[in-house]
Each structure stands twice: as C-alpha cells, then as structure tokens.
C-alpha cells in the first residue's frame, strides 16, 4: 500500500467517524472510534 492509499484510508475512516458522531466530543472519543474503524478494515 502506498503512502497515498494509506492516507486515503485514514482520512476516509476519520470522515466516517466525524459524520457519525458530529462535532463537540472529546478527542479521546474520536480516537477510540477511529481506532475501531481502522481495525474493522483489517
């Protein structure tokens, strides 16, 4: 996987998390959800 492909995966997962949760939560909540999204892709 190239750096560009990896960046696309990470950004895509981050966008899905932000869309699902919305704004205003603590960073730790987004971090846990992003971790979950990335693990689902594995």
Residue 42 confidence class, pLDDT cut points 50, 70, 90 = confident
Task: Measure the CA–CA gap between 19 and 13, rounded to whole angstroms.
Answer: 10
The residues spanned by each domain of the chain are 3-41
Q: If you average pLDDT over every residue of the chain, what do you get?
A: 96
Cα distance between the two ends of the chain:
13
Residue 1: predicted pLDDT: 92
Band of pLDDT at residue 36, cut at 50, 70 and 90: very high
Stated pTM of the model: 0.85
- Over residues 11-39, the mean pLDDT reads 97
């Amino acid at each position: 996987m190239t750096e560009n492909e990896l960046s696309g995966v990470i950004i895509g997962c981050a966008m899905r998390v932000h869309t699902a949760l919305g704004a205003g939560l603590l960073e730790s909540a987004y971090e846990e959800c992003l971790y979950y999204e990335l693990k689902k892709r594995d």
